[in-house]
Chain A
Amino acid sequence: MGFTFKKDWWKFLGLALIMYSVIVGLMMKVPDLDMIHQSIRNLFYHVVMWFSMMVMFIIGLVASIRYLSSFDMKFDRLASQAVNVGLFYGMLGIVTGMEWANFTWGTPWTNDPQLNGAAVTILAYFAYLVLRSSLDEDHKRARIASVYNIFAFALLVVFIGILPRIANNSLHPAAGGNASTMASLDTSLRIVFYPAIIGWILLGCWIIQLRLRIADIRNRLMERGIQS
């Protein structure tokens, strides 16, 4: 098969955008804010991870809903791979966030609604993977895992989206009636921030595609093994 630019342009675009965000994100001049100083550059890596993670989980959610409406196994495989990639991004997001928190707030972990929300989301999706591995029949696993995925996602979105706003005591911006991050985000930061998000999402889609192909090859090998 090989690469054809016509079909695989988005992979190159994703890589190019990530390279752009790394190089320009470290080289550009950033506004020097109180307390954060130069570490505002972490916005291009830490915050971007959470956005990409949420997009991966939304892909997983849509795939689960489509599985339940069509019972096509291809959507179940897509959902599980999207969750895998989302979890990977989530772990990176936690690591970069702890680094940043250690610098600005003086401790890697604080009792902050958004930190707790992130930790709980990751726990719930690990539970999703444990649930998958405890069921061995394909169609049953697909159906039950899809139900849990939809159920968990709906409640976790409430947890991350609504609770920090009523709890009113987050250290993060955009909580407690502050202006949202996006509104106060400097224009010069935006020209790196948005491309970085798109780049990581495209990279995530590429990883999902590769993992789906690997799973497909494994299935075929196994079937051939059974037949011979």
Chain B
Amino acid sequence: MLAREIRFLIAKDVQLELKQRYAFNGILLYVVSTIFVCYLSFTKIVDPETWNALFWIIMLFAAVNAVSKSFVQESINRQLYYYTLASPQAIILSKVIYNSMLMGVLSLLCILVFSALMGSFVTNLPLFLVALLFGSFGFSAVLTMIAAIASRTNNNFALMAILSFPILLPFLLVLMNVSSSALTGGDWSENFRYLAAIIALDGIVIALTFVLFPYLWRD
């Protein structure tokens, strides 16, 4: 039942996106122009640490931008209509899954454009990509929940950043550790505990979202 509702809701989001081409193209343009600004101001990055920091900062802001729209773009009335049709758990899980698909695609494009312009330091590509995908899943899960909280207030974009940055930092620090080791030739065994930490964090976030979202919805 839940799986069926989630499947329909995701299909609805994907169709809406394909029809409007609004969120994805906007974020893509945002990422490309940010990277281009970095390219013009740095010209050439010589050490992996700067590359790593810059990449993750761009990812962080792109994620906040991409996910913040997920509850605002639909009117209150239409949301009310969804809630009469589906359970709150199905709604939040479908949003999380949809946003992580969006973020997954975005992060792959981001690394492509970023390495094309700034040069690539990645030596262990599979490790880097795994970290990137688990990381963007975690980012979008946390941000979907925060977007749901912020959409209930008046100034939701400013609050989105204030509320999410402290909570995203655990993810960001672990991810930067893994990716900096992937840049300097680290292998899987030494990063195992970091990857385990990211997966555990993802699990905690999903569990909390599942339990807490129904309270946000009830008005």
Footprint of B on A, CB under 8 Å? Answer: 68, 116, 120-121, 123-124, 127, 130-131, 134-135, 140, 143-144, 146-148, 150-152, 154-156, 158-159, 162-163, 166-167
Known contacts A131-B162, A151-B167, A167-B173, then 18 further A-B pairs from the complex at CB < 8 Å, ordered by chain A residue = A123-B166, A127-B163, A134-B153, A140-B152, A143-B215, A144-B149, A144-B153, A147-B216, A150-B212, A151-B208, A151-B212, A152-B166, A154-B204, A156-B166, A158-B200, A158-B201, A163-B170, A163-B174
Question: Per-residue CB proximity of B184-216 to A under 8 Å, as 1/0?
Answer: 000000000110010011001100100010011
How far in angstroms is the closest Cβ of chain B from A138?
A: 14
Q: Which residues of B contact A148 (CB under 8 A)?
A: 149, 163
Contacting residue for B167 out of A68, A124, A135, A166, CB 8 A: A124
Interface size class of B (residues with CB under 8 A): 20 to 34
Are A131 and B153 in touch, CB under 8 angstroms?
yes
Q: Which residues of B contact A150 (CB under 8 A)?
A: 208, 212
Chain A binding site: helix, strand, loop or mixed by DSSP?
helix
Contacting residue for A147 out of B193, B200, B212, CB 8 A: B212
Footprint of A on B, CB under 8 Å? Answer: 142, 145, 149, 152-155, 159, 162-163, 165-167, 169-170, 173-174, 177, 193-194, 197, 200-201, 204-205, 208, 212, 215-216, 218-219
A143 to B212, CA, bound (A): 10
Contacting residue for A144 out of B155, B200, B216, CB 8 A: B216
A138 to B142, CA, bound (A): 25
Residue of A nearest to B165 (CB): A123
